[in-house]
Amino acid sequence: MTDQPWWQGAVLYQIYPRSFRDTSGNGVGDLPGIAERLDYVARLGVDGIWMSPFYPSPGKDFGYDITEHCKIDPLFGTMEDFQALLDKAHSLGLKVVIDAVLNHTSDQHPWFLESRSSRTNGKADWYQWEDPRDDGGPPNNWICRYGQSQWSWCPEREQYYRHQYLTSQPALNLANQEVVEARLGFMEKWLSRGVDGLRFDAVPQYFADADLRDNPPADPGDPQLTPVGPFTPFAWQLHENDCNDERIESFVASLQDQVECAGCTFTFSEIDIRYDAYRSLGRYTGGPYFNAAYTPDFMSAALTPSCFAKVADSTREHSDLRNLVWTVTNHDASRIASRWTPEDADPATQAAVSRLAAAILMCLHGQISFFQGEELGLPDAVYDYDEIKDPQGLLFWPKGHGRDPIRHPFPWDGGPQAGFSGNESPWLPMKDTLCSRHAAGQEDDPQSVLNTWRRLIGLRRGTPALRSGEMEILEADDESGILHLRRWLDGQEIEALFCLAAEAPEADLPEGRMLDASSEGPLEGWGWRIIASAES
């Protein structure tokens, strides 16, 4: 174990600063609020935190549209606040990973304001600009995540600029070495302060087809369309040419080398284009590339044994499970309690499934990342249209509700605004269905969702075979709901049996010493048994 990098088999806790803890009273979470609650995070037993952006931003995409990469948005605090947070995290044994958004900036970034002003200025080639077609239309048919063309017209230059997300998020030209050097400068600054790792946003979109060929139409029967949502035309294209260009591999290898030299100890990336995600996992991770990555499959799949087997088998086909981050939820994905239970599920069922999810995750080979509040068994919040802030929710309502339901402020206790803020009107309204499951109310119950997650994270951390051992899926039967795993390392062998259904079939339990179980006796619905073999 001493020869392992710290991140191998690690469990990361994602913090969304805006929704974690507000100490200023403005209704928005902040860096001092994170620092104040790091003791709680450390008690979970996780290895580190991943923080979503806290850089200056107009907030049109809530932090992923950045205007200055080397500063702190005053909304969240100061550089001194960040340093205090970082120092406290390290004193508690927590690593700190921050977001590196290299692909795009805000349209209010000084670079873009200069770039759009003319075709001859010093930053004219810092973004992706193209001439119109002969008929005046955009260069090709590429569609962005918000359902419009990836190209917007700029009158000053009489050209189109590219954006894969909002029109206010223009795409940088990473083929320009000056741009790359500027991006490296921002990462080196944060690493020099003591940041341990970097999470790279939207990696498959770093480069697209140089010839700008159109994307072909997608197969309407493709099951990968469903998680994206057929309500957006983005799902109607097969994204062959607007991402995953061959130039990305050499770019990532060079980037990895340079950030390692700058002191980065862990890199992981978002493989966010569903087309060919697992091949991309193999192309951009391991060896000279990023240490690890996650794909969207696990954040949109059903709770079935075959889902886990598919992710594991697909990863092995193109890469290695050591390179996978099992990201069960994040700031973009529906929560476990809502995604893996029926729409009319009661709180007890949601809590049972949340506990089961923790048990499964802590037995998987690779790294684990989960979003703040999963350890409380929180469901998605239900917001009315007039309460929504997320541009995705506003655009796709009512078929798509956006990401606000996941980003509901964290419920700490039974006080006003659930202890999140002293402001009576937080940036998102507090909902009773979530606030009633607050952290303080779960502290004293050993069987609470919170204490179950703590116990299972601790089991993983203290069991080398679970943290770093090899993995074999012995059974993944959707009909019975049984998932059966085997983990082993240096003579230690663990078997884990899970029932991913409300009713458990009769199952023969492995012989050995019980390490953890949902209850005593035979396997029950939503239950598990984690057993060390008699020989180990």
Report the pLDDT value the prediction gives residue 395, as an integer from 0 to 100: 93
Residue 516's closest CA among 355, 282, 345, 386? 355
Give the other-Cβ count within 10 Å of 285's Cβ: 28
pLDDT tens per residue, range 25-62 = 999 999 999 999 999 999 999 999 999 999 999 999 99
**How many C-alpha atoms does 243 have within 13 Å on its Cβ side?**
25
Report the pLDDT value the prediction gives residue 1, as an integer from 0 to 100: 47
Judged against a pLDDT cut of 70, whether residue 226 lies above it is answered with no
| DSSP sequence for 40-51 | HHHHHT-SEEEE
Domains of the chain and any CATH numbers: 11-104+177-454 (3.20.20.80), 471-533 (2.60.40.1180)
Confidence of residue 297 (pLDDT cuts 50, 70, 90): confident
Q: Are 439 and 40 in contact (CB under 8 A)?
A: yes
Report the pLDDT value the prediction gives residue 301, as an integer from 0 to 100: 78
3-class secondary-structure state, position 302:
coil
pLDDT tens per residue, range 434-473 = 999 999 999 999 999 999 999 999 999 999 999 999 999 9
Judged against a pLDDT cut of 70, whether residue 536 lies above it is answered with no
Does the model's pTM come out above 0.95?
Answer: yes
Judged against a pLDDT cut of 50, whether residue 477 lies above it is answered with yes
Judged against a pLDDT cut of 80, whether residue 221 lies above it is answered with no
Judged by average pLDDT, the poorest of 273-287, 365-379, 419-433, 513-527 is: 273-287
**What mean pLDDT is predicted for residues 336-342?**
94
Which residues, 6 or more positions from 78, have their beta carbon under 8 angstroms from its beta carbon? 31, 72
Q: Where are the alpha helices (DSSP H) in 92-176?
A: 110-115
Average pLDDT for the chain:
94
Which residues, 6 or more positions from 263, have their beta carbon under 8 angstroms from its beta carbon? 191, 192
Confidence of residue 218 (pLDDT cuts 50, 70, 90): confident
Report the pLDDT value the prediction gives residue 507, as an integer from 0 to 100: 87
- CA 444 – CA 173 distance, rounded (Å): 53
The structure tokens listed for 181 are: 């050097």
Judged against a pLDDT cut of 70, whether residue 95 lies above it is answered with yes
Residue 248's closest CA among 213, 302, 288? 288
Percent over 90 (pLDDT), the chain:
89
Q: What is the 3-state secondary structure (H, E, C) of 160-213?
A: EEECCCCCCCCEECCCCHHHHHHHHHHHHHHHHCCCCEEEECCHHHCCCCCCCC
Question: Angle 200-201-204 (CA atoms, 0-180°, nearest 5)?
Answer: 100
* DSSP designation for 290: B
Report the pLDDT value the prediction gives residue 113, as an integer from 0 to 100: 98
Question: Angle 481-487-490 (CA atoms, 0-180°, nearest 5)?
Answer: 170
